[in-house]
Structure 1
Amino acid sequence: MQCASRRADGFNPAHLGIMNIRALLANSPRLADILSPQRNSFGVLRFAMATLVLVSHSYLYSAGTSAAEPLQPWLGRSLGECAVRVFFILSGVMVAQSFDRSRGIVDFTVARALRIFPALIVCVLAVAFVVGPFVSALPASEYFRSPELYSYAAKTLMLATGSAPLPGVFETNAYATYVNSSLWTLKYEVACYLGLGILGAAGLFDQKLRWFAVAGLAVVVATVSLSLPANPDDYGFTQNLRYFIVYFYGGVLAYLLRSYLVVAGVALLPLFLIFVASVRTPFAEVGAMLFLGYGALWAGTKMWGPLRGLCNRTDASFGIYIFAGPVQQTLLWLFPSISPVVLTLAAFAIVLPMAIASWRIVEKPSLRLRPVVTNSLTMRRRSVPVSG
């Protein structure tokens, strides 16, 4: 009797399947092959993720809770949280590449600061001193005298919190007093940058130490979230940082393995099964990172039509992320009964031009200052006399 999986002539269909998978893997790019912006669509993904955060927050701001989002019961987390996970994974890959190509820790630090703070400063000051007086329940004179106004600006610019209130602002909205809830993740991103800078200076990207670095980082990524509380509402700073470390440093790990990491759609199914199997286990975040991270890298190999060129020329993702919240809350203050769908469309129509202007007028020109600032700081350090 012949085995059911083998024909009488000795041909085994399973062999053909294995050969096809091997051929797919052999013909698929490695991560190292797609790290150039001209060869990936990471800009499209960042734009899409920022937009998904806007969509998710339309439900959060409208109802006062993310539980109102239709997909949350199925996803286990809000659409915005899933998008932020992908943000951190892509950030890990790209920021690791930035450090690896930088001229040292000063150059790296300058690059990270210029990427975040110029646009953030514009956003915070515009919201606090232009939008705030317009939407506040307080008279303008009382608004500008309130210590809460200056506390908001200071705390938000120092990344101390993303939930600092403005005096009398959005107090009647469903998600009352929250001005720009998206900003709460920035301090964790900067903390991840800081950690990467320290590790990079200690030799993380040294070719001689590659496999020690990969092994050590893999252990951290696999174990750092094991004892997190089941309910994210119980997370404090340390728990949130551990949560984000999984995703950011998962991206860094992918970069370290860039010459070996094959990006092929055939791997998505087993990673999805791992993701599903890990739900409600201590390895849930690791399973999510593997599936979402690999899926993002795979999606980044696609052309996405003219969007790739548009997003490479104009990176509106950060602008959408930081400007959307105040626009959505203002629209709800003006039109309290507006539906989440209409809110999404109206907010996107307003925010997209603002984000494009932010990139062209603030963010891109600021990034061009990187060599000037780096050289200035380096020369200043060299000119400081060494005592003793």
Structure 2
Amino acid sequence: MDRNGVVVARTCFRPHGGWGYASGALGRGTLGAGPRVLLTSRREARRRRRSTAAAPPPEHGWAPEVESAAASGRAPGARRDRGHLRRDDHRTADTVSPVSTPSGSRGGHPWPVQVTRDTIGSRFDHGPNALSFLRLLLAAEVVAWHSYALRGDTWLPERLATVVGDIGVDAFFALSGFLVCRAWVGRSGTRAFVLARARRIFPGLWTCLLVTAFVIAPLASAVAGMPQLTLAGQLQYVWSHADTWATQGEIDGTPVGTADRGWNGSLWTLGYEVACYVVIVASGAARVLRPGVLAALAFLFWTVSLELALTVPGGGSWAPPRFGLMFTLGALLWMQRDRIPFSRLWCALATVCIVVGAFTPDYRVMAAPAVAYLCIVGGTALGRYELLVLRHDLSYGTYIYAFPIQQAFLMCGVTLTWVGFVSLSLATVLPVAAVSWYVVERPALPRDRRRDPSPAGSYVPAAS
């Protein structure tokens, strides 16, 4: 019983495959009333119990008899007629569904009941998340894959190498769809949305192009004994990538001695990311950004991917349907977040889908929804660990600077094992990414997004 005379009871149960708490309360002097039920996480249950002990009961929660009678328009102490359980039409976790007590029960006032499923929305909207940490982890995976590809290694089986090279980028597109759709729904205006996307991508990109053309490439060429780079070639390189659609990867015939002849093979996906932004803005402005439309688009992209996988060798990696499918699935997860369970069973099934899909010509045909689901659920579940809830985002700088740094190492004749090369690449690029964040990216963000940029949208990392 709390300080207001409210009897509080709780129990633990497992509906829909997820663990949670059922916290209940009985009104003051009410022995026959039933519980108020809320499915939530352990951390949220503890927080609610602490707030309950420190604050008076809410107006429409388990209020005392006088408040409940005043809200229902009857005199205190009067009995209510026999009622029935009415499910609330809303899907949010803050909505209360009233239940009337039988006329013969003691106490006489209703017991409000609230039932919330353990869904992606209930976890993501009411607790911290580790999506920034997950993005950094995916960026490191891309660095590891590029270390394998740029060195010309071939020790992975071909089909496994394809999956490892694609899954990091696919996961980024799913995260981007989820967060960008969220940003559009919560926007303060179309102009503000567009400016926020531009301020997240272009300042860091343009700075990286200048650093690559005028610092990294000249130093690597000098160490490798190459002729001095020309100003025209350097400016042409910067200009060709400035709009996110890369058309020139070389600078005066460099780099050399690597498996890729471009200085930054991580930038070509940015154009498709911007194209996805345009689709979100256009469909949102036309008022057709709805779950049904997103599901139809996802099915269209899936059909094209299936046709390409069956008829064209390697056709499943064609960028438009590949990126469109993953981005649309991420956006659909956001729109339906209050209906999709947050379940360990679903995570296990998604993992099985990815493993089985790895043995097919295009793993996305079977596992694209599984990848998107695991990304969102994993990033949300890791939010329980405070150490992983990052307030600063180094993943963007990691992905845009890693490729030219790796190319420079290879031009300079660095010969290490794969593990050694990955370690050297990450040890070099993470400080550079930190400087990029604190000096360029963070100051360019809106003031309300500088501490936690993840709600403002995402980006897509290096391609495989």
TMscore range, shorter length: 0.7 to 0.9
User: Where does residue 90 of structure 2 map in the other structure?
Assistant: none
Q: Which one of the candidate residues 252, 255, 262 is aligned to 1:170?
A: 255
Q: Which amino acid aligns with 1:198?
A: A
In 2 relative to 1, CA 214–333 (structure 1 residues): closer, same or farther, beyond 3 Å? Answer: closer
Maintained 8 Å contact 2:354/2:370:
yes
Distance 1:307 1:74, change over 3 A: farther
Residues 1:41 and 2:134 aligned together: no
| 2:213/2:238 contact within 8 Å kept | yes
- Which of the pair is proportionally richer in helix? 1
Kindly indicate whether residue 145 of structure 2 is the aligned counterpart of residue 56 of structure 1: yes
What is the root-mean-square deviation of aligned Cα atoms in Å? 2.9
TM-score normalized by the length of structure 2: 0.66
- 1:50–1:321: 8 Å Cα contact kept in structure 2? yes
Residue in structure 2 matched with residue 22 of structure 1 by the alignment: 16
Matched, 1:322 2:383: no
SS at match of 2:272: helix
Kindly indicate whether residue 274 of structure 2 is the aligned counterpart of residue 196 of structure 1: no
Higher relative contact order (CA 8 A, sep 6+): 1
The structure 2 residue matched to 1:150, chosen from 232, 235, 248, is: 235
Q: Which of these residues, 260, 268, 275, is aligned with residue 339 of structure 2?
A: 260
SS state at 1:227 partner: helix
- The CA deviation at 1:271 is 3.0
Q: What secondary structure is seen at the aligned counterpart in 1 of 2:230?
A: helix
Q: Any idea what the Cα deviations from partners look like across 1:14-54, whole Å, max 9, x if unmatched?
A: xxxxx966352775732223445952111111010000000
> What SS does structure 2 have at the residue aligned with 1:259?
coil
- The aligned residue for residue 287 of structure 1 is 366
Match of 1:245 in 2: 324
Secondary structure (helix, strand or coil) at the match of 2:383 reads: coil
Distance 2:344 2:367 in 1: 17
Given the superposition, is the C-alpha separation of residues 37 and 58 from structure 1 closer, same or farther in structure 2, using an over 3 Å criterion?
farther
Cα–Cα, structure 1 residues 163 and 357, in superposed 2: closer, same or farther, change >3 Å?
A: same
Distance (whole Å) between structure 1 residues aligned to residue 363 and residue 417 of structure 2? 33
Question: Structure 2: which 5+ runs fail to align?
Answer: 1-12, 21-38, 40-116, 450-464
The runs of 5 or more residues in structure 1 that have no matched partner are 1-18, 372-388
Q: 1:201 offset after TM fit, Å? A: 1.0
Q: For residue 250 of structure 2, give the secondary structure of its aligned residue in structure 1.
A: coil
Equivalent residue runs for 1:208-227 within 5 Å: 210=290, 212-227=292-307
Aligned length: 337
- Superposed, 1:309-388 pairs within 5 Å as 309=389, 311=390, 313-368=391-446
Identical amino acids, percent of aligned pairs: 29
| Deviation readout 1:197-217 (Å, 9 max, x if unpaired) | 111111134xxxx45435434
Asked which structure has the greater CA Rg, the reply is 2
Give the drift of 1:347: 1.2
TM-score (norm 1): 0.78
Give how far 1:223 is off.
2.5
Change (3 A) 1:243 1:342: same
Distance apart, 1:154 and its partner CA: 1.2
The change in CA–CA distance for 1:349 and 1:36 in structure 2 (over 3 A counts) is farther
Alpha-carbon shift at residue 189 of structure 1 (Å): 1.0
- In structure 1, how many angstroms separate the alpha carbons of the residues matched to 2:210 and 2:387? 31
The 1:344–1:276 alpha-carbon spacing in structure 2 relative to 1, beyond 3 Å, is closer
Q: Of 105, 129, 139, which aligns to 2:227?
A: 139
- Cα distance in 2 for residues equivalent to 1:212 and 1:315: 33
The Cα of 1:176 is off from its aligned counterpart by 4.5
Give distance in 2, aligned partners of 1:80 and 1:90.
17
What is the alpha-carbon distance in structure 1 between the residues aligned to residue 292 and residue 150 of structure 2? Answer: 46
